[in-house]
Amino acid sequence: MRLFRFLAAATLGLASSIALAAEPDQAIRQTLKSLQPDLPIEAISESPMPGLYQVQLKGGRLLYTSADAQFVLQGFLFQVKDGKTVNLTEQAESKGVAKQINAIPPAEMVVFPADEKAAQKTHITVFTDTDCGYCQKLHSEVAELNRRGVEVRYVAFPRQGIASHGYNTLVSVWCAKDRRAAMSLAKARKDVPEAKCDNPVAKQYQLGQMIGVQGTPAIVLANGRMIPGYQPAPQLAEAALAAAAK
């Protein structure tokens, strides 16, 4: 999970910026906004741990604070139950990520559908860069994932940023008459005919940054759990189908 700006820096002015408000929600909002005005707060609620509040950010990630906002932390909150540990932070963040990812219209993705004859079906959403070697390796196994009942939905994540070679290639893929063919061409390290159109590449890149994508391929399962990096098709399909069953 990436550090936010006000936590990555030394927050020396925290105590002086505490909001003197009666309600925890108001105090927490005022304090965090004073440290980072553009912090995308979606909701504030009591966490499962008494006395600790959780701040849900756009994109799914969480911060924790005390009720008076004098203490702010970022990290995992675990619950020990029946001798086992449950990562409550990961669970909550996955729900937020799933909400964002599953709201992407299929028309804005490059979709390789699951085999109709597969006994079980689910989907994965893959943040991809056509210049990425492991993305190319994953693409070579898309047919096997489809055969195992996994629909592969590609979204764009040009690792070198906007206007890079990878960005321009992704734009050409998204603007091609046959996106699937263009994606396969790019993943085979072949030139894709240049094409321009209104496209979601920059928007998807920003979404990836918001939910914490730091490299490609970044694979998001149907339940919002993120797998950073390549996994072989049998292992990935097993994880994807298990996530869909929960």
| pLDDT tens-digit series, residues 95-141 | 889 989 989 999 999 999 999 998 889 999 999 999 999 999 999 99
Peptide bond into 217 cis (omega under 30): yes
197: annotated active-site residue: no
pLDDT classification of 1: cutoffs 50, 70, 90: very low
Of residues 59 and 140, more confidence is placed in 140
Same domain, yes or no: 225 and 178: yes
Within 13 Å and on the Cβ side, how many CA atoms surround 41? Answer: 21
With respect to residue 93, please indicate whether it lies within any of the assigned structural domains: no
Same domain, yes or no: 114 and 219: yes
Q: Which residues contact 122 (CB under 8 A, 6 or more apart)?
A: 114, 149, 150, 151, 221, 222, 240, 241, 243, 244
159: annotated active-site residue: yes
With respect to residue 87, please indicate whether it lies within any of the assigned structural domains: no
The CATH number linked to 51 is 3.10.450.70
pLDDT classification of 4: cutoffs 50, 70, 90: low
For residue 60, the enclosing domain spans 5-77
pLDDT number for residue 70: 87
Considering the candidates 29, 61, 131, 132, report the single residue annotated as catalytic. Answer: 132
Same domain, yes or no: 58 and 122: no
Q: Which residues contact 9 (CB under 8 A, 6 or more apart)?
A: none
Considering the candidates 29, 61, 131, 135, report the single residue annotated as catalytic. Answer: 135
pLDDT number for residue 246: 64
With respect to residue 94, please indicate whether it lies within any of the assigned structural domains: no
The total number of structural domains in the chain stands at 2
Distance separating alpha carbons of residues 146 and 78, to the nearest angstrom: 35
Distance separating alpha carbons of residues 176 and 173, to the nearest angstrom: 5
Considering the candidates 61, 148, 153, 159, report the single residue annotated as catalytic. Answer: 159
Considering the candidates 29, 129, 148, 225, report the single residue annotated as catalytic. Answer: 129
With respect to residue 85, please indicate whether it lies within any of the assigned structural domains: no
